[in-house]
Amino acid sequence: MISLMMLSGCISKTIDEKIKDEEKNPEEYVWEDDGELVIVTYDVTGLTDSMINEFENQTGYDVSLTKLEDAGSILNHLLIYKGVQVSDLAIGLDNTYLQTAIDNGVLWEHFANFSNISEEALIPYEGPLAVPFDQGHICLNYDTEIVDGVNMTVPTSLWNLTEDEWKGKVAIPSPETSSPGRAFMTATVDYFDNDPDNQTDWTDWWTDMSDNDVIITTGWSEAYETHYTGGYGEYMPGYVGDAHIVVSYCHSPGVESWYNGNWTKSAALDLPRASFHQVEYAAAVEGGNLGAASAFIEYLLSQEVNVNMPTENFMYSVLEGTDLPEDGGYRYHSIIPTQAAEINSTQIASSMENWLQDWNEAMVAA
């Protein structure tokens, strides 16, 4: 094994250079329409069989889904197969993952036609390489039955979560793999930049959280379903229920209520700058079937499909003039944060890799 390592790195370097030489030019690219659309995504609920079958009937394309773990896996997939992509459309990168994909040139311009996208959805990115299809605000959610002011107090600052009371009771998905997790981490950058304490910054908080046995999961569903006590997880096998606060969406309590028939014990925590405006994107992958990808984007953004985002996909629609439904207390139990974190896309683009490294070091430092 040692002797093999002597030749380290040469082959991959050669192949990498070869791929660079052969890199296709988007302008000269003549895409082939083989009638197939391969979508790489994570478990986006909205992509149901009936929704896809409808698209197939309308357009005649043959759709297949490559389901990966989370947004991080989608990004890795695109980066690994750079220059030799195996999919046509990527659904599920959000505004904390998108820039890396763009910078690496794995996304190409689509030619979908659509209109009526709200301005809010276009704030993080409005270029031709990716199209928003849903959005929401990342928030902390807490279990009101336990965090009721008597047994446990509702946090008024993120520092509360580093206290003994919350030891081992906070669940957060990892920013390295999960998009809500990364969004939340980004929010903490802004939160601690603007808190009254000038001597500590966001990495200190994470170190204290690590000391305080914060539960870090790979994805959102593990954090919400397995650990969080305030959600539907308790009805699922494998439920552990050791966390009373979790990173989720400001409208998650609304979803809970809608499912339960107008009741929920989960509430969103509205702390200034502790929430993040997340937009999720559909993007055409380089060198793929641009025609099919564009057709699907149009479908996803069409009135019939996109207005159903809240009920099919549990996220806000990106179309102008839409809102959460009222039934089942969906809108009632959802909040719009008073002040979301103010980190813009340029900052994300330039700092995300460093933030991830700092986060990793902060977690280990405990």
Partner 1 sequence: MINKYVARSSVIIYSLLIIVPLWLALDRLIWVAGYDVIGWIESLERNYISQGVLEFTLIQATLSVVLTLALGIPIAWQLGRYKWPFQSLIKSLLTMPFVMPSIVAAMGFMTLIGENGLDIRSERDTWFATLIIAHAWFNLSLVIRFCEPVLSTLDPSMEEQLRLLPSGRTKLGRIRHLWVPLLMPSIAAAACMTFVFSFTSFALVELITLGEDTLESMMANVGSSAGIKGVMVSKNEVILGASLIQFSILLVSLWLMSWLQQRRQNLLPVASENVVKRNNITGWLIVLPALIFAILPLIAIMISSFRIRETNSTGSTQYWSTEGWEYAFTATKSLPSAWDALQNSLGYAIITLAIALPLGWMLAQTIRDLEQVKPRIARILDVFTMLPFAVSSVMIGLGVMLGMIKINPQFFYSFWLTPVIAHVMITTPFVVRIILPALRSLDPSYDECGQTLGMSKFKRFFLIKIPMLRGSIIISSIFILAMSMGEFGASWVVTRNSDWTTLPVIIDSIRAIPYNNPLIVPAANAVSTVLMMIALLLFISTEKFRPKRDGGMF
Give min distance, CB of 221 to partner 1, in A: 4
Give min distance, CB of 180 to partner 1, in A: 13
Is the alpha carbon torsion for 222, 51, 133, 136 positive or negative? Answer: negative
> Do the Cβ atoms of 247 and 138 come closer than 8 Å?
yes
Give min distance, CB of 64 to partner 1, in A: 7
Give min distance, CB of 225 to partner 1, in A: 6
Closer by beta carbon to partner 1, 345 or else 360: 360
Number of neighbouring beta carbons within 10 Å of residue 270: 16
> Do the Cβ atoms of 278 and 183 come closer than 8 Å?
yes
Residues 6+ apart with CB under 8 A from 118: 318, 319, 320, 321, 322
Give min distance, CB of 123 to partner 1, in A: 26
Strands (E), 57-100: 62-67, 89-94
Buried b (16+ CB within 10 A) or exposed e, 239-264: beeebbbbbbbbbbbbbbbbeeeeeb
Buried b (16+ CB within 10 A) or exposed e, 152-169: beebeebbebbeeebeeb
Closer by beta carbon to partner 1, 17 or else 323: 17
**Rule CB under 8 A: which residues touch partner 1?**
1, 4-5, 7-13, 15-16, 43, 45, 47, 49, 52-53, 63-65, 67-69, 72-73, 76-77, 79-81, 84, 86, 100, 174, 176, 210, 215-219, 221-222, 225-226, 232, 234-242, 260, 263, 353, 356-357, 360-361, 363-364
Closer by beta carbon to partner 1, 231 or else 291: 231
Closer by beta carbon to partner 1, 176 or else 201: 176
**106: which 2 tokens?**
């794995």
Closer by beta carbon to partner 1, 80 or else 336: 80
Closer by beta carbon to partner 1, 11 or else 150: 11
Reduced to 3 states (helix: H, G, I; strand: E, B; else coil), residue 11 is helix
Give min distance, CB of 31 to partner 1, in A: 16
Give the CA dihedral 228, 232, 238, 241, nearest 10 degrees.
Answer: 30
Strands (E), the chain: 36-41, 62-67, 89-94, 131-143, 170-173, 215-217, 245-249, 266-269, 276-284
Closer by beta carbon to partner 1, 119 or else 235: 235
> Do the Cβ atoms of 51 and 65 come closer than 8 Å?
no
Closer by beta carbon to partner 1, 271 or else 300: 300
Give min distance, CB of 52 to partner 1, in A: 5
Give min distance, CB of 333 to partner 1, in A: 14
